Amino acid sequence: MFLLQAVLASVVPYASMELLNDAGFHDRSSAQETFYIRAKLLHDFDVEKSQLRLLQGALILSITHVSHYMSRDYCYWFSNAVGVANKMGIYTNILDQRLDQPTKKILRRVWWVLYTWDVLLTLHGMDTMHRFHDRNPDTASLTEADWEEEIPPLLQDFLHPISKAEKVYLIESAKYSCLSTQFDLIAEIVRRFWQTFAYHTPEIAFDELGAAVHAWRQALLSEMRGMPNGTMTDSWFLTLNTRSYVCECVMYRVILRASSTNENLSGRASRKLHGAMFELDATIDRIIAQNSGQFNSFFLHTSISTDIALHVEKALKHSTSAHERTMTTLRIQSKLEWLREISKSWSYIRALVKMFEGVIQFAELSIPRMPNSDIQTEFYDALPSTKGQNIPNPPSEFQSINKSADAMSNFDFFNFADEQTQYEFQMGPVASNCVLDEIFSHNSKYWNQILVSSLEF
């Protein structure tokens, strides 16, 4: 029953309002809260005795949209899931030759979901610590053989067969996230980049990043070639590419900001950044055109918010041409409108919408204000304008950074006035906050007020 209530809480954003109304709920927020409270009570009263179902339920509740604004948020439930996994000895059991194959398959899938979710939460700034610091080399990578071939007869009316694209999505997602010395196979792109950038020159980081991204994409395309026509536009494939392009944008941006005195490297990094932004925009547009945004993961929404932040930065730079600025503002407007629409299903996105509305008003970008916006116009009208101010692109922001592994991995160069903000917004290398905080560092007082105000809804 605990697992069932956790599943119901997680699928509310995907359900139609007609279905929710028939179930007695007047909106999605009340439905999700009801299922969440039921799951929490079943957990607190120790009703569920199966360790595996406890682990699965806690892992589902750690999905950010389920428990983001609850007293026990996703961090609590993910820690709980990791604790249950350790108590079960899940890693040891994966290697235990005495277990039957179906059990080993599900344990291996759960292990890799845990590992990947740990990496993604930290990468997107939703958590500040890793639960898994190393990947044991004895842990076998996921393969398509780790899924059951047949759905049990009793469940065939409720579950569809897992497609090859869905399997490859999780397999490649795990590869993109994991730490390993098998560089050509696993493509530990993000992790290795931060380590290289901390201890080596930007030139070395640039070259290694390019090689890693190329290797990973070639491996992914190789996996996709054997799939049916249409897979290349499948939402799983597009979502995976979206996340990779966001990471690529942010990493090339870091190199660009650190190489202002190196004209050659700066130019190369700038071209790579703009190329990755173009691909990111195109991929997001394909997802939106399919009208599948509501059915994508939390990381699509965070990827879009980071994309908007990157375009805000581009729009404010003096070096941006009039044509580029026009295209950039149109992209900001279209993606912000999509976030407004999707916030009707995913309530936590309202905070992102209000934050960007505040940024647009504050920066005086030529984007119309929505008549029904929740933004507090009197507050933002009183803010000083950034119009006419060039956004610095050089080492000034980096002079105060201790370029050590610890400093670069944690990105400890924030100074928010309200501590609560740190837990409500994504604060990590690929988070929109990271980009916007640097853009408005010269007006940090008002930027902090924008963040705090956007939480009041």
Question: pLDDT digits over 306-332, tens only?
Answer: 999 999 999 998 889 999 999 999 999
What is the separation of C-alpha 146 from the centre of its chain, rounded to a whole number of angstroms? 25
Cβ-count burial of 261 within 10 angstroms (0-12 exposed, 13-18 middle, 19+ buried)? exposed
Phi, psi values for residue 132, rounded to 5°: -120, 110
Average pLDDT over residues 155-164: 82
Question: What is the pLDDT, as a whole number, of residue 370?
Answer: 61
Q: Which amino acid is at 11?
A: V
- Measured distance between the N- and C-terminal CA atoms of the chain, rounded to whole angstroms: 32
pLDDT digits (tens, 9 = 90+) for 347-392: 778 888 888 988 888 888 888 766 555 544 444 444 445 454 444 4
CA distances, 26 to each of 29, 295, 372, 417 (Å): 9, 21, 21, 37
Residue 16 burial by Cβ neighbours in a 10 Å radius (0-12, 13-18, 19+): exposed
Q: What percent of the chain has pLDDT over 90?
A: 23
Burial category of 83 from C-beta neighbours within 10 Å (exposed 0-12, middle 13-18, buried 19 and up): middle
How far is 10 from 55, CA to CA, in rounded Å? 15
pLDDT tens digit sequence for 218-257: 877 776 665 555 544 566 678 778 888 888 888 889 889 8
